[in-house]
């Protein structure tokens, strides 16, 4: 039995034992004895990457209600981010945040030091920019730690191959791994998936996804920060850091649409371009239009845009031979999932079905209010750890990240890109990301004209920049 498994077993035993004591005590009317073993039953958590999402994920971890849990270590490359995160978490969770100064770590090796505070069976949270995911996951698997890691978990072909291999090792060690594609844990979407599988809207003929906003890329680097730290701070702007906005933002809908379809797309054909740049120096396109093809020929039409002054749909829809469904109405939560007899027309119909009553009759709607999927993904992970249930989302997370990169590469190169091509692509965006120090050069260098290399579809065809 693995160490992690052993630990989970003792937790199960503990729950049984303490349950027994409490029941017996109630009968006898005696005082519940102090249970020293409670300490062993505590799941310890380390947070690596103390920004917005990391702080949120730690807070959700500490809010799981099925047993003692505490945050014991934190790591970041920016001290001010760690301090802000610590102050917020401490204020909200009090004693469950047990992170004295000597368990707060700053630097590119902070992840090791933070995880060294854990024992097998505890949980490490990775919420740094995605480029570091395989580096941190490697160490967690080596140490026998359970993991919650934010999406995307890879940014290119080489990092996907690394995470897929690590996913196998984690499985062999019976580690529990959650990946922050929280929509998969939304109870409404889960019911929608069963309804689609049961044929409520017939055979799927097309799927649509949209994520649009006025997001702006990073401007030129200011004085007082190194090139490396600037690119890390502005990771959405640089493909090595995050896979760009395409990977970092669009993965959710590409994943939820593919989940509804029950397959990963096998190829992508795409257009995209840069329009109004202002002083933005990032590597992203301003718009993306991608046609993904599933193994049976069904298409997912995905549109992304980063441009102010336009409508900003953030939604996904499935169309079937008998009807249609809304997977996301606007943003991730609440999903407000619904099915219709007939076809939903457009975004307005999605928001207000009464607008299309003659064309599409609503069949079913998930009851409101919905539970928060960011909490549900933690409830599910901690439950699996305490009960030692199989739980490993790493492979699925890597596949979702890969098909997302497939669409991005298709737009950036102007070529049709297949699943095998992106998986076997040799362009590694950040070789040596595991060896970075505060003094390292950034993986992306400015060109002589002061701009960063950007995609040139049709001109550069086998790599994105
Ligand atoms: N599931 C979701 O809906 C969701 C929402 C937001 C963000 N995210 C994901 O969470 C991750 C973080 O995003 P964010 O919005 O919190 O960004 P952020 O910039 O607020 O936080 C990232 C933190 O990681 C730190 N960091 C960077 N490199 C590090 C390293 N090598 N070691 C330790 N710390 C390091 C940064 O200093 C920063 O504090 C991304 O992968 C993002 O896609 C997911």
The dihedral sign for the CA sequence 117, 122, 127, 132: positive
State the average pLDDT over residues 51-72: 97
The minimum-distance atom of ligand 1 relative to the CA of 130 is 41
* CA–centroid distance, residue 277 to ligand 1 (Å): 25
Query: Of the residues 57, 106, 129, 186, which should be mutated to test ligand 1's pocket, given the most ligand atoms within 8 Å of the CB?
Result: 129
pLDDT at residue 24 tops 90: no
Task: Report CA(53)–ligand 1 centroid distance (Å).
Answer: 6
CA–centroid distance, residue 50 to ligand 1 (Å): 7
Residue 113 pLDDT class (50, 70, 90 cuts): very high
CA of 242 to the centre of ligand 1 (A): 10
Q: At what angle do helices 244-261 and 187-197 cross, to 10 degrees?
A: 50
- 304 ligand 1 Cβ < 6 A: no
* C-beta of residue 264 within 8 angstroms of C-beta of residue 399: yes
**How open is the CA angle 126-260-273, to the nearest 5 degrees?**
70
Return the best residue to mutate from 127, 226, 243, 314 for the ligand 1 pocket (most ligand atoms within 8 A of CB). 127
What six digits make up the tokens of 450? 């002061």
Whether the predicted pLDDT of 36 surpasses 80: no
Confirm or reject: Cβ of 180 under 6 Å from ligand 1: yes
Q: How many angstroms is it from 259 CA to the middle of ligand 1?
A: 25
Domain 3-183+375-392, CATH among 3.40.50.720, 3.30.470.10, 1.10.10.10, 3.40.140.10: 3.40.50.720
Which residue, by CA, sits nearest to atom 4 of ligand 1? 53
Query: Rounded to an integer, what distance in angstroms lies between the CA atom of residue 51 and that of residue 386?
Result: 27
- Specify the 3-state DSSP secondary structure of 312: coil
pLDDT (average), residues 407-432: 98
Where are the chain's structural domains? 3-183+375-392, 187-368+402-435
> 């998936």: which residue's tokens?
193
Q: Does the C-beta of 48 come closer than 6 Å to ligand 1?
A: yes
pLDDT score, position 355: 57
What pLDDT score was predicted for residue 434? Answer: 98
pLDDT the model gives residue 6: 43
Residues with Cβ within 8 Å of 129's Cβ and at least 6 positions away in sequence, in order, are: 49, 232, 235, 241, 242
Give dist(CA 54, CA 114) in Å, integer.
14
Separation between Cα atoms, residue 325 and residue 362, nearest integer Å: 9
Nearest in space to 156 (alpha carbons), one of 425, 421, 418, 452 = 425
Q: How far is the CA of 207 from the centre of ligand 1 (A)?
A: 30
How far from chain centre, in Å, is Cα 350?
25
DSSP secondary structure, 238-274, as one string: -HHHHSHHHHHHHHHHHHHHHHHHTS--SEEEEEEE-
Dihedral angle computed from the Cα positions of residues 148, 283, 401 and 263, in that order, rounded to the nearest 10 degrees:
150
Select from 41, 120, 110, 121 the least CA-distant residue to 76: 110
- Judge whether residue 118 has pLDDT over 70: yes
The answer, yes or no, to whether any atom of ligand 1 lies below 6 A from the CB of 174, is no
Asked if residue 151 lies in contact with residue 180, where contact means CB atoms within 8 angstroms, the answer is: yes
pLDDT tens digit sequence for 138-165: 999 999 999 999 999 999 999 999 999 9
| DSSP E strand stretches across 40-182 | 43-48, 69-76, 104-106, 123-126, 146-149, 177-179
Mean pLDDT of 117-129: 98
Residues 93 and 89: their CA atoms lie apart, in Å, by: 6
Q: For the segment 199-225, what is each residue's pLDDT rounded down to a tens digit?
A: 999 999 999 999 999 999 999 999 999
Distance 158 CA to ligand 1 centre (A): 21
21 confidence band (pLDDT: 50, 70, 90) = very low
Q: Is the pLDDT of residue 29 over 80?
A: no
Per-residue confidence (pLDDT) for residue 450, from 0 to 100: 83
Strands ordered across the beta sheet of 204-213: 361-365, 338-341, 323-328, 314-320, 204-213, 299-306, 287-293, 267-273, 417-418
pLDDT at res. 359: 59
**Banded pLDDT at 40 (limits 50, 70, 90):** confident
CA gap 88, 108 in Å, rounded: 23
Please give the number of the atom of ligand 1 that sits closest to the Cα of 249.
Answer: 43
Closest residue by Cα to atom 5, ligand 1, is 53
- Pull the structure tokens for residue 157: 């072909």
Residue 20, pLDDT above cutoff 50: no
Q: Residue 350 has what pLDDT?
A: 57
- Which of 47, 52, 163 has the most ligand 1 atoms within 8 A of CB, as the residue to mutate? 52
Q: What's the mean pLDDT in 351-356?
A: 58
- ∠ CA(112), CA(181), CA(346), 5° rounding? 150
Tokens 């062993």 sit at which residue?
40
Mutation pick for ligand 1 pocket among 47, 51, 378 (CB with most ligand atoms within 8 Å): 51
Decide whether any atom of ligand 1 lies within 6 Å of the 81 Cβ: yes
Atom 43 in ligand 1: which residue has the minimum CA distance?
248
The whole-angstrom separation of Cα 238 and Cα 231 is: 7
Pocket probe mutation, ligand 1, options 84, 111, 128, max atoms within 8 Å of Cβ: 128
CATH among 3.30.360.10, 3.90.550.10, 3.30.110.40, 3.40.710.10 for 187-368+402-435? 3.30.360.10
Q: Could you tell me how far CA 12 lies from the centroid of its own chain?
A: 29
Cis omega before residue 389 (within 30°)? no
pLDDT of 14 higher than 50: no
Average pLDDT over residues 38-56: 91
What is the arithmetic mean of pLDDT over 167-179? 98
Q: Find the 128 Cα to ligand 1 centroid distance in Å.
A: 4
Interval 278-333: pLDDT, tens? 999 999 999 999 999 999 999 999 999 999 999 899 999 999 999 999 999 999 99
Averaged pLDDT of the chain: 91
Digit-coded pLDDT (tens) for 239-286 = 999 999 999 999 999 999 999 999 999 999 999 999 999 999 999 999
Whether the predicted model's global pTM rises above the 0.75 cut: yes
pLDDT at 5: 41
Q: Per this entry, what is the length of the chain?
A: 465
């Amino acid at each position: 039995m693995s160490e992690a498994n052993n630990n989970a077993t003792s937790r199960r035993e503990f729950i049984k034992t303490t349950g027994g004591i409490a029941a017996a005590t109630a009968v006898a009317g005696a005082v519940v004895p102090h249970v020293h073993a409670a300490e062993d039953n505590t799941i310890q958590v380390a947070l690596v990457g103390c920004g917005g999402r990391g702080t949120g994920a730690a807070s959700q971890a500490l809010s799981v209600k099925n047993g003692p849990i505490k945050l014991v270590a934190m790591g970041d490359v920016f001290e001010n981010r760690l301090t802000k995160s610590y102050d917020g978490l401490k204020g909200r969770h009090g004693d469950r945040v047990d992170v004295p100064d000597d368990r707060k770590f700053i630097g590119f090796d902070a992840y090791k030091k933070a995880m060294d505070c854990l024992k097998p069976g505890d949980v490490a949270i990775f919420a740094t920019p995605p480029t570091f995911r395989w580096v941190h996951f490697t160490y967690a698997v080596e140490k026998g730690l359970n993991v919650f890691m934010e999406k995307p978990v890879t940014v290119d072909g080489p990092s996907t191959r690394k995470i897929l291999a690590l996913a196998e090792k984690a499985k062999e060690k019976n580690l529990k791994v959650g990946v922050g594609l929280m929509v998969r844990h939304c109870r409404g979407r889960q019911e929608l998936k069963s309804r689609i599988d049961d044929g409520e809207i017939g055979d799927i003929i097309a799927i649509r996804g949209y994520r649009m906003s006025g997001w702006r890329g990073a401007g030129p680097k200011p004085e007082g920060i190194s090139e490396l730290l600037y690119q890390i701070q502005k990771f959405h702007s640089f493909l090595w850091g995050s896979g760009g906005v395409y990977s970092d933002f669009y993965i959710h809908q590409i994943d939820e649409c593919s989940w509804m379809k029950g397959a990963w797309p096998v190829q992508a054909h795409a257009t995209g371009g840069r329009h109004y740049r202002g002083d933005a120096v990032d590597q992203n396109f301003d718009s993306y239009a991608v046609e993904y093809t599933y193994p049976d020929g069904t298409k997912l039409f995905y549109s992304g845009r980063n441009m102010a002054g336009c409508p900003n749909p953030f939604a996904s829809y499935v169309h079937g031979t008998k009807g249609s469904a809304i997977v996301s109405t606007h943003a991730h939560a609440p999903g407000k999932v619904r099915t219709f007899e007939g076809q939903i027309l457009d975004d307005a119909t999605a928001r207000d079905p009464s607008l299309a009553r003659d064309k599409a009759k609503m069949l079913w709607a998930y009851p409101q209010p919905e539970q928060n999927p960011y909490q549900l993904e933690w409830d599910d992970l901690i439950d699996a750890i305490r009960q030692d249930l199989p739980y490993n989302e790493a492979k699925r997370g890597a596949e979702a990240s890969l098909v997302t990169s497939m669409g991005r590469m298709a737009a950036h190169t102007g070529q049709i890109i297949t699943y095998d091509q992106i998986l076997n692509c040799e362009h590694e965006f950040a070789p040596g990301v595991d060896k970075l120090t505060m003094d390292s050069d950034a993986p992306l260098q400015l060109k002589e004209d002061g701009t960063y290399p950007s995609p040139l579809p049709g001109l550069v065809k086998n790599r994105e920049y």
